[in-house]
Structure 1
Amino acid sequence: METPAETYRDGDLTLTRWHAGDRPVLTAVVSGSLAHLSPFLIWVADGYTDDDAAEFLRVTANHWESGEAYSYAVRLGSEVAGGIGVVCRDDGVEIGYWLARDFVGRGLMTRAVTLLTEEAFRLGAGYVEIKHDERNVRSGAVPARLGFTRVRSEPAEKPLAPACAGTNHVWRLARTPCSAPAAP
């Protein structure tokens, strides 16, 4: 897949590449949603500090430069509502995401996943996958709503977050001929 843009917009929803200057807001948003996020996200199971945010932003910058992954802040107006990322896989990508507690139930992640799925196909990905723990019903509603097909279940990588069952559902959407990049 080619390198994506650093910003995508859909009305009041904007996806922006994370930068080192986002550290204070990232720390505040994640810390303010620990009870909401920690059941299913191992990286917040023991809290989230300013050092955690700094490390995430460092790794994110390295992944962006290497072409391994591309991570974005999900913004509603001027507020950071969550995060979304695209990890490059053989001939496709995997999208992962999270939303802060106060932004759940507004369709924001469905819109964000739509933006990145369309862009991944435009940039040459053959498929988009989304994985979630079988108990994380809200996370699974996004690919179901967008026409992805549940293709398999697989053991989750350990360690697991507290509420996780240990089985991930994997959803896939394949690029159709009309979503393929135009020939030169």
Structure 2
Amino acid sequence: MKAVIDMLSFKIDDELTLRIMNERDAYDAFKEVDASRDYLATWLPWVNYTHSAEDYKKFIQFTRDEFAKESSFHFGIYNKNTFIGGFSLNKVNRTDNKVEFGYWLGKSHQKRGIITRVVSTMTDFVFNEWDVHRIEIHVCELNEPSRKVPERLGFSKEAVLCDAMRLDGRYHNLLIYGKLNPNHVNL
């Protein structure tokens, strides 16, 4: 994988941009999380620990450290400069040449194909620019909107991990979707 230390912003299309967040983004990000709190907390445990812009600022500081180590890359999703969600390249694994995608979107921005556009563009990017061999997306089995994204984009459902995700004190199955770089031949 090529180093991405200079990849601070990534244009998805005329409306959408991914940008590495800084502390000044904490208020807008928290505002989006707070406005969608009930919806997001259903699927994302970290929402219950995000009570203020200061909490989100601490998360941004953590993501900047991860960025510096090139172990994960967390972006804000911006629609014409308005923060609407997050996208991440998690668990960057150079040994096995794979990465895991993560994403969330505020409730008022759902059902417009935004995440599908982001995941499609970033799939092309990591396959073609980083020469990644494998992408994974992990999704709670009950989270139908998030499941539809990899299914729509040709990812294969490869595994069901029973009771592998804990939300609100209850365990849920976790689905693993995978996609291999079509430019690679497995030797």
Q: Distance in 2 between matches of 1:112 and 1:23?
A: 21
Give unmatched runs, 5+ long, in structure 2.
none
Any idea what the Cα deviations from partners look like across 1:82-111, whole Å, max 9, x if unmatched? 000001133100000000011000000001
Displacement after TM superposition at 1:165 (Å): 4.6
Moved over 6 A (4+): none
SS in 1 for 2:3: coil
Root mean square deviation, CA, Å: 1.9
Displacement after TM superposition at 1:157 (Å): 4.9
Give unmatched runs, 5+ long, in structure 1.
179-184
Q: Distance in 2 between matches of 1:60 and 1:76?
A: 21
SS in 1 for 2:158: strand
* Counterpart pick for 1:115 among 112, 118, 121: 121
Tell me: CA distance 1:3–1:164, structure 2 relative to 1, closer, same or farther (3 Å): farther
Match of 1:27 in 2: 30
Displacement after TM superposition at 1:81 (Å): 1.1
Match of 2:104 in 1: 98
After superposition, where does 1:1-184 map in structure 2 within 5 Å?
A: 1-4=1-4, 5-9=7-11, 10-87=13-90, 88-89=92-93, 90-122=96-128, 123-155=130-162, 157=164, 160-162=166-168, 165-177=171-183
Residue 23 of structure 1 contacts residue 57 of structure 1 at CA under 8 Å; is this kept in 2?
Answer: yes
Give the TM-score taking structure 1 as reference length: 0.89
SS in 2 for 1:166: strand
SS in 1 for 2:120: helix
Displacement after TM superposition at 1:155 (Å): 4.0
Q: Distance in 2 between matches of 1:42 and 1:25?
A: 20
SS in 2 for 1:177: coil
Alignment size in residue pairs: 178
Q: Distance in 2 between matches of 1:55 and 1:17?
A: 14
Q: Which has the higher contact order (CA 8 A, sep 6+)?
A: 1
Any idea what the Cα deviations from partners look like across 1:20-46, whole Å, max 9, x if unmatched? 211111111111110110011100135
Give the TM-score taking structure 2 as reference length: 0.88
